[in-house]
Structure 1
Amino acid sequence: MKEAEDFIASGRRTVDIEQQAVSALQDRIDSDFAKACKVILDCRGRVIVTGMGKSGHIGNKIAATLASTGTPSFFVHPGEASHGDMGMITSDDVVIALSHSGGASEVVTLLPLFKRLGIPVISITGNPKSALAKSSDIHLNNGVEQEACPLNLAPTSSTTATLVLGDALAVALLEARGFTAEDFAFSHPGGSLGRRLLLKVSHIMHTGPRLPLVTKGTPLSEALMEVTSKGMGMTAITDADHSLSGVFTDGDLRRALDHNVDPKQTSIEEVMTKNCVTISSEILAAEALKIMEDHKISGLICVDEKKRPVGAIHMHDLLKAGVV
């Protein structure tokens, strides 16, 4: 019976072999890789990924990654394609065909059909001399020295290399398209990721009677009542034209007390922070979080184009919304 040390040694050997397989890809990110990116970038249709067996499972993931990063894509099983699913593929599409041996009959059988449609075929195989590699327009080599499987049979290193190569394509295309975090969010609207990337400040900010607000000339003692009643640890201060003049926070209060300021005899503009950091209500909540972190503050005043306060947001609001 195997001991714990045997399991650990086997696992580490597998990781080491697969790391070597991935490292070998560095020299294969070459002009053919660039051509593949260009063909996909110029595609007017979708990227069709196909592969049999373990290659098919990897192909499913590659298609999903492409689709979620700005490249319309889906997986077509080669066996189903031979029995009707070819109708899902159009002459505007591009095919990425996967087969480590390059000889999977179910995939090779489809090549004449792709050629008849005039579809560019990008193959990813471990054998540049295979039927699939030779018949494709662009070939990407994912060959490995050995599989992690001790029998050198079960697809392990080769599938890992294919997956990494697919990720490399997806990321290169993402950057070429100028794909943004907001674009990514539209592909992932559910869960915490969607909340982080789609939620705007306007959706969660305090407005109207919930907005802490006083005017210049207000005694510090009254401003403190506003801070307390609104529960945001701050208040905005406005000029006569309703534009923002400054902000007063818990930090400003501590500094005022250190100087023995009399709250009843002191006007709020004497102790407020001028030229405070403000934001637009239309920016993403995730951006507001970044601004708070960069400036080491816990609240922000939202202003309109005329610098008039329209809302306020606190770190607690971002926590409740699941942005943090």
Structure 2
Amino acid sequence: MTNSELIARGKSVIEIEIDALQQIVTNLDDDFAQAVNTLAEAIENKGKVVVIGIGKSGNIGHKIAATLNSTGSTAVVLNSQNALHGDLGMISDGDAVIALSYSGETAELLDLIPFVKRFDVKIISITKSKDSSLAKYSDVTVCTPIRREACPLNLAPTSSSTAALVMGDALAMTLLEKRGFTHEEFARYHPGGSLGRALLTKVADIMRQGINIAVVPNNATVADAVAAMGYARTGSCIVVSPDNKTLSGVFTHGDFARSYTTGENIGAKPIEDFMKKSPISIQEDSLAVEAVKIFEQHRIDDIIVLNAQKEVVGLVDSQDLARLKIV
């Protein structure tokens, strides 16, 4: 095959799987809501989610369980081969079970279901049809019908496994929202690496303050602001009300350069004539990850930090995030 043919084949696989996802979006109905409610009830009653699948469905099941665990919903994967030799002990009354099988006719899974149903649990199946055997044994069925597999032989689980994976994500993320899972809770489950630092660290922990920020009153001159920036070695100057507390605006080196090119002697002019009014700010008790989002959304270099009384207490410089390994 030529490179062009290989690329075309790759695109075809992706397009087939996209089509599969569009199908499951179209078919999403009240059973999905019932499945989320069933999972929420189990978690709220101190139960857990038990995920079961065979082959590729089992691999998808591991990912679904990992996503649930990382978002505060306790989940375990039941190995179907070991289940009949003691591992059924991981199931408890009040749990919710997610059973995955695209065909809904996987013999090993169907053989296990009667033993699972001896427990007081709700079974949610993710399968292609409500007419399948697995669906008939389930309390709730979330259907993932597809037109075809992306495999050229229409055999290897591709579109079907992608559909199951995405449905698992949809269940987990909707469950997260229903339960009111917060940034702080997410941070508790992700303490490692830059993500953990960003989620656990507060803005007050990383902000510049004191002599490391430039602050002038709004009756100051441009020269005063430039001098303050030079002293603090920063690229921006915070302008506050005469009581030196309430935020009025911000003046940057960029603002100075643009104004200076006009040829005017702007040094003696009021800073209020050149500052940006109503600059973007953040609360000191906010998570550092919120500052990261602001930098990404607004393409700015600095964020002014306020306390609960709306007083200026510091500044977050985008360059500090990398130094502190927040990003």
Which residue number in structure 1 is paired with residue 17 of structure 2? 18
Q: Is the 8 A contact 1:120 1:136 kept in 2?
A: yes
Once residues 129 and 310 of structure 2 are traced to their aligned partners in structure 1, the CA distance between those partners, rounded to angstroms, is 64
Aligned residue in 1 for 2:318: 315
Task: Give CA-to-partner distance per residue, 1:79-110, whole Å, 9 cap, x none.
Answer: 12222222222112100111233233432233
- The residue number in structure 1 matching 2:36 is 37
User: Is contact 1:185-1:197 (8 Å) kept?
Assistant: yes
Is 1:243–1:306's contact at 8 Å kept on the other side of the alignment? no
CA displacement, residues 238-257 of structure 1 (integer Å, 9 cap, x when unaligned): 56644236444324534764
Letter in 2 for 1:112: P
Aligned pair 1:233/2:252, yes or no? no
Compute the displacement of 1:215 (Å).
5.6
* TM-align CA RMSD: 3.4
* AA partner of residue 37 (structure 2): K
Matched, 1:298 2:301: yes
Change in Cα spacing, 1:202 to 1:116, as seen in structure 2 (3 Å) is same
Aligned-partner Cα distance in 1 for 2:239–2:24 = 59
Among 249, 253, 256, the alignment partner of 1:250 is: 253
Check if 1:288 corresponds to 2:287: no
Describe the SS at the equivalent of 2:93.
coil
2:92 counterpart of 1:93: no
> Is the 2:52–2:78 contact (alpha carbons within 8 Å) kept by the matching residues of 1?
yes
The answer on whether the counterparts of 2:24 and 2:144 sit within 8 Å (CA) in structure 1 is yes
In 2, the alpha carbon distance for the partners of 1:93 and 1:317 equals 45
Which deviations, in whole Å up to 9, do the C-alpha atoms of 1:176-214 show, x marking residues without a partner? 334445544443333333344443221211123323345
Q: Deviations over 1:130-163 (max 9, x none)?
A: 4322211122333444433344433223222222
Tell me which residue corresponds to 1:209: 211
Aligned to 2:49: 47
Q: Is the 8 A contact 2:24 2:146 kept in 1?
A: no
- CA 1:227–1:20 in 2, change beyond 3 Å: closer, same or farther? closer
Where 1:116 maps in the other structure, the secondary structure is coil
CA-to-aligned-CA distance 1:294-319 (integer Å, 9 cap, x gap): 66643233232344432222222234
Question: Which secondary structure does the structure 1 equivalent of 2:228 belong to?
Answer: helix
SS at match of 1:118: coil
Superposition deviation, residue 228 in structure 1: 0.8
State the AA in 1 paired with 2:30.
S
Q: Where do residues 140-289 of structure 1 align in structure 2 (5 Å cutoff)?
A: 140-214=142-216, 221=223, 223-237=225-239, 241-244=243-246, 246=248, 247-251=250-254, 253-254=256-257, 257=260, 258=262, 260-261=264-265, 263=267, 276-289=279-292
- In the alignment, which residue of structure 1 is the partner of 2:128? 126
Distance 1:256 1:34, change over 3 A: closer
Distance 1:251 1:244, change over 3 A: farther
The amino acid of 2:134's aligned partner reads L
Q: Which moved more, 1:57-66 or 1:130-139?
A: 130-139
Conserved in 1, the CA contact under 8 Å of 2:88 and 2:116?
no
Tell me how far apart the structure 2 counterparts of residues 180 and 222 of structure 1 sit (CA, whole Å). 43
The 3-state SS of whatever aligns with 2:285 is coil
The change in CA–CA distance for 1:294 and 1:66 in structure 2 (over 3 A counts) is closer
Mind listing any 5+ residue stretches in structure 2 that lack a counterpart? none
Kindly provide the amino acid, as one letter, of the partner of residue 291 in structure 2: A
Which residue type is aligned with residue 304 of structure 1? Answer: N
Moved more, 12-21 or 77-86: 12-21
2:109 is aligned with 1:107: yes
Question: For 2:118, what is the secondary structure of its paired residue?
Answer: helix
Partner SS, residue 52 of structure 2: strand
Cα distance in structure 1, aligned partners of 2:233 and 2:188: 34
Q: How many residues align?
A: 322
Q: What residue is the counterpart of 1:59 in the other structure? A: 61
Aligned-partner Cα distance in 1 for 2:84–2:73: 25
Question: Which structure: larger Rg?
Answer: 1
Is contact 1:70-1:177 (8 Å) kept? Answer: no
Q: Deviations over 1:209-249 (max 9, x none)?
A: 32334567767655533311211123345566442364443
TM-aligned CA deviation for residue 75 of structure 1: 1.6
Q: Tell which deviates more after alignment, 226-235 or 183-192.
A: 183-192
Judged with a 3 Å threshold, the aligned counterparts in structure 2 of structure 1 residues 88 and 239 are, in CA distance, closer, same or farther, namely same
TM-score scaled by length of structure 2: 0.81
In the alignment, the residues of structure 1 paired with residue 20 and residue 13 of structure 2 have an alpha-carbon distance, to the nearest angstrom, of: 11
Q: Tell me if the contact between 1:232 and 1:299 (Cα under 8 Å) persists in the aligned partners.
A: no
> 177-186 vs 205-214, which deviates more?
177-186
